[in-house]
Structure 1
Amino acid sequence: MRLRSLSKNLLLRVLVAIVLGVVFGLFFPEWLARVFITFNGIFSQFLGFLIPLIIVGLVTPAIADLGRGAGKWLAVTAAIAYGSTIFAGLLAFLVAKASYPWLLGGDRSVNGLENPEDHALGGFFDITMPPVFDVMTALILAFCIGVGITCVKGNSLHRGFGELRTIVMRIVEKIIIPLLPVYIFGMFLSLTMNGQIVLVISTFLRVVILAFIMTVVILIIQYCVAGLVAKRNPFVMLKNMLPAYATALGTSSSAATIPVTLECTKRNGVDERVAGFTIPLCATIHLSGSTMKIVLFSLAIMTISGMPINTWQYIGFILLLGVTMVAAPGVPGGAIMAAVGILQSTLGFDETAVGLMIATYVAIDSFGTACNVTGDGAIAAVMDRMLKDKSGRLRDAPAKSTV
C-alpha cells in the first residue's frame, strides 16, 4: 500500500531531519533559520486547521463502518483509553513520590530556567488559519453523525463521509507527510539556535531520564496486556509500531502521525475497520505518555520549589487531567496548553511555575507523544479482539469494508 512505503521512507527522513536540525542549528545564520521557522509557522497553522477535519473525516465513517454496535464500542474504547491514561498518571505519581526526595532533594532553585518563548527566534510573518470548529466540536460531531448513520436506513450519507475520508487522507498523503521532515528540521533547528534543548535538559536531566524509563515501562505494560488479550507476542507488536514511535518523536503531533500509526497497527493484525475507528479516536483521547510527563514534571517543580504535595488533592488532579486531555489538540505542545488551567486551579501554580512547566514540557514534548501514539496500537489490538467473534468476523459490522 501507499502508506506502507510512506511510513518506511518517513522513518529514515524523520531521523535525518532531527540530526540535521540539531547540527545546522549550531552554525546557521539567523536570516536563513527564520525562513524555516516561517515555514513551520504556516505549516502549524495548516495542521491546526486540518485536525478537526481529520477527526470528522476519519472517525465518522469508521464509526459508521462498525454498524449498529458502534455506540457501545465507542464507549468501551473511550473507557479503555481513559483508564490507560489514568493508570499512567497514577504510576508516575507513585514513582515520583518514592524517588524525588533523594533524586531531587538537593535542588531547591529554579531561577536559572526561563520560559523559552521569551527568547524564541521568530519567523518573517504569520498566516492565521482558524479551524472551522475546535477539536471537541469535531469529536462530538463525529460521534453523533457516525452513530446516527448506523441508526438510519440509506447509504448516501455513509458514502459521502467515505468520500470525505478519501479527501482527507489524500491531503495527508500528498501534503502533510511529504512536508513533515522539513517541519521537523525547522523545529529542531529552532530549539538548537534558541538554546532551549541544552538549558532545559541540563536543568531537568534526571527527570528526563526518569520520564524516558517510565515511557518504556508504560509501553511494555500496555503491550503485555494487549498481547495477553489478543494472544500475540507483545514485543513483536511493539517492534511493528517503531515507525509510528519515530514519526511522533519527530513531529510531537499525534494527529500528524495518524496515517503512520494506522499502517503500523494493521501490521499487528488489527482489522482495517477497527484500526480506522480506534486510531484517530485514541489520537485525541488517549494521552498516557503526555499525562505521565505532566505528572513527573509538575511534581518535580513542586518538589524543588518547596510547594506542599497533598496526595488526595494530586490524585484528584490526575483524574481531572485525564478528562482535560481529551480536549488537547493533537499538535506539538497541545497537551500542556490544555493542562495549564488545572495546574493553576488545582495545584496552585503561579505564572513562574507555569512558565517553567511549559519550558520543560515543550522541550521534550516528543517523548510523551511517541508514547501516546504507540499505546494507541495496543488499545486497537484489544478492541480488535473484543470486536471479533470466535470465527474472527467483526460483531455488528459488515463483512467487508465500505472504503
Structure 2
Amino acid sequence: MSGKGKLGLLPKLIIAIIAGILIGKFTPEAVVRILATFNGLFGNFLGFCIPLIIVGFVAPGIGDLGKNAGRTLGLTVAIAYGSTILAGTLAFFVDSSIFPNLLQVGGMVSEAASHGNPEEALLAPFFVVEMPALMGVMTALLMAFTLGIGMAVTEGKKMNEIMHEFQAIIAKLISSIIIPLLPLHICGIFANMTHAGEVQTIMSVFIKVYAVIIALHVTMLLIQYFIAGSVAGVNPFKAIKNMLPAYFTAIGTQSSAATIPVTLQQTKANGVREDVADFVVPLCATIHLSGSTITLASCAIAVMMLHGMDVSFAAMFPFIMMLGICMVAAPGVPGGAVMAALGVLESMLHFSPTMLSLMIALYLAQDSFGTACNVTGDGAIAILVNKLTGRNGSTAKATEPAMGTGD
C-alpha cells in the first residue's frame, strides 16, 4: 500500500522506539518533557476522537449489514462472530495461564511510584490543553448501535449517505493525522519510560507476548480449518496451504480489504463456489477479525498484568464480546482494529491514556500477523458457508457487500 521508496508504518515504529530509548537515556530532562508535552496534546486529541471514531464506523457498519438480509448473510455473520469470540476466549485462557510465568506482574509499578500511581514516575508535560470529548464512550456506543440498527430497519438512504460521509471524514482523520503522528507519539512514550527506568520491562514484554500471540494465531487457524474440513470433507492442511498466498499478501498490505483479490482467488482454489466466495470473502474482510481479537486481548491482558490489575474472565469476556462487535467497523487503515477498540478498552477495562498508548504500540508492531490470521481464517468460513448453503452449486448468487475494513 506504500509507494516505492516510502517507509512503511512498521519500520517507522521500530525507528521511533529506538529513538525514544536513546533520547530518554542520553538527552536532558527538558527534551523528554517536550516530547511528554506533545504526548499530552496528542493523547487528549485522541480522547476527543474516540467517540467520533465509534459513531463514524460502528453506525454505518451495522447499517450496511442490514441491507443484505438473507440466510447466507445471517449464517456468515453468526460464524464470523462465533469465530471472533472463540479466538478472544482462547487467548484469555492461554494468556492467563502463561503470562504470569513470563511477565513481571506489576512490573510497571516502579520503585519511584511504588506508593502511588505508576504513571507518577513519568515526567509531566510543560503544559496541558484540555480537549473534552463531545460524549462519553458508552454514550457513543449506544448512539452508534441505535443509528446503525435504525438505518438497517428503515433503509433510510439520506441518513445512510450522511453517516458514510461522516465515516469518510473520520477515516481521513485517522489516515492523515493520527496514524502519521503515532511514531512521534510512541517515540515520546519510550523516551519517558526510559527516563523513568521502565523501558526494560516493556521491551522484555514485547518479545514474549508476540511469541505467544503468533502461536495463538497458528492454533486458531488450525481450529478453524479442522472444523471447516470436518464439516465439508476437505483436507484442512491442503486448504491452509492453498491460503498461504493470501496470508503473505496480508503481511505486506496490513489490510484485509487490500488482500481481498488474493483471498478470493485462493478461496475459490479450495473448491468454494464462485457466488459464495464473492459474497463471503468481502463480508468477512469487514466482520471477521479473529487474529486481531487474539492480539488485542493478549496485549490488553499483558498491559493489565504489568500495571498490577486483576485479570478475570468475568471482566474479560464481556470485553471480548463487545470487541467482536467493534471489529465489524474497524477503520480501513493499518492499525484500524486497535483504533476501533480504544473506546472499549477505556470504558470496560478502565485503561488510562498511558495504557492506551502502550496498547497502540504493542498492537501496531505486529499488525501484519493479525491481519494475515484474519484473512486466512476467512477462507475457512467460506468453506463452511459453501457447505451449509447448498448442494451441487444450487445457491442463488448473493449481493456482494461493501468492502471497508483494515486492521
TM-score (norm. length: structure 1):
0.61
Consecutive unaligned residues of structure 1, counting only runs of 5 or more, are: 1-9, 27-51, 64-69, 114-134, 147-186, 399-403
Q: Distance in 1 between matches of 2:301 and 2:214?
A: 16
Moved over 6 A (4+): 16-19, 110-113, 139-146, 194-201
- Conserved 8 A contact 2:105-2:305: no
Equivalence map 1:199-210=2 (5 Å): 203-210=205-212
The answer for the alignment partner of 2:235 in structure 1 is: 233
Give the 3-state SS of the residue equivalent to 2:394 in structure 1.
coil
8 Å CA contact retained: 2:109, 2:308: no
Relative to structure 1, is the Cα distance of residues 142 and 383 closer, same or farther in structure 2, using a 3 angstrom cutoff? farther
Match of 2:101 in 1: 102
Matching residue of 2:53: none
Alpha-carbon distance, 1:395 to partner: 3.0
Mapped partners of 2:204, 2:97: distance in 1: 22
Moved more, 289-298 or 95-104: 95-104
Structure 1 residue 216 displacement after superposition:
0.5
Match of 1:385 in 2: 387
Counterpart contact for 1:196–1:363, Cα < 8 Å: no
Aligned to 1:250: 252
Tell me the amino acid that sits aligned with residue 89 of structure 2: L
- The code of the aligned residue for 1:267 comes to A
Give the superposition deviation at 1:358. 0.4
Q: How much has 1:307 moved relative to structure 2?
A: 1.2
Instruction: Return the offset for 1:284.
Output: 0.7
Q: Would the aligned equivalents of 1:284 and 1:329 in 2 still touch at CA under 8 Å?
A: no
Give yes or no for contact 2:346–2:352 (8 Å, CA) kept in 1: yes
Task: State how far apart, in whole Å, the 2-side matches of 1:319 and 1:396 are.
Answer: 32
- How far is the alpha carbon of 1:363 from its aligned partner? 1.3
Shift of 1:310: 3.2
SS at match of 1:254: coil
Q: 1:363 aligns with which of 365, 369, 378?
A: 365
What does residue 330 of structure 1 align with?
332
The partner residue of 1:260 within 262, 269, 280 is 262
Q: CA deviation at 1:228?
A: 1.1
Q: What letter is aligned with 1:266?
A: K
Where 2:272 maps in the other structure, the secondary structure is coil
**Alpha-carbon shift at residue 202 of structure 1 (Å):** 5.3
Q: How many residues align?
A: 290
* Letter in structure 2 aligned against 1:100: F
Report the RMSD for the aligned CA atoms in angstroms.
Answer: 4.3
1:288 to 276, 287, 290: 290
Q: How does 1:265-344 map to 2 (within 5 A)?
A: 265-344=267-346
Q: Using a 3 Å threshold, how does the CA distance of structure 1 residues 397 and 359 change in structure 2: closer, same or farther?
A: closer
Once the two structures are TM-superposed, the CA of residue 250 in structure 1 deviates from its matched residue by 1.3
* 1:84 corresponds to: 83
What amino acid does structure 2 have at the position aligned with 1:212? I
Aligned to 1:394: 394
Q: 1:394 to 1:110 in 2, by over 3 A?
A: farther
Q: Quote the Cα distance in structure 1 between the aligned partners of 2:106 and 2:244.
A: 36
Q: Find the residue that maps to 1:204 and give its secondary structure.
A: helix
Instruction: Write the distance in 2 (CA, Å) between the matches of 1:393 and 1:203.
Output: 49
The answer to whether the 8 A contact 1:18-1:250 is kept is no
Q: Percent identity?
A: 48
- C-alpha displacement at 1:98, in angstroms? 0.7
3-state SS, counterpart of residue 237 of structure 2: helix
Q: Give the whole-Å Cα distance in 2 for the aligned partners of 1:288 and 1:97.
A: 18
Q: Does the C-alpha gap of structure 1 residues 331 and 201 become closer, same or farther in structure 2, counting only changes over 3 Å? A: farther
CA deviation string 1:77-109 (max 9, x = no partner): 000000000000000000011111111136702
Give runs of aligned pairs for residues 53-202 of structure 1, distance below 5 A.
71-105=70-104, 108-109=107-108
* Contact 2:92 2:313 (8 Å CA) reproduced: no
Question: How many angstroms apart in 2 are the aligned matches of 1:76 and 1:95?
Answer: 28
Deviation of residue 208 (structure 1)? 0.4
**Which secondary structure state, in structure 2, belongs to the residue aligned with residue 332 of structure 1?**
coil
Deviations 1:201-252 (A, max 9, x none): 6541000000010110000111111111121111111111111111111111
For the structure 1 residues 352 and 238, does the alpha-carbon distance in structure 2 shift closer, same or farther, using more than 3 Å as the test?
Answer: same
Unaligned runs of 5+ in 2: 16-56, 111-117, 120-143, 156-179, 191-198, 399-407
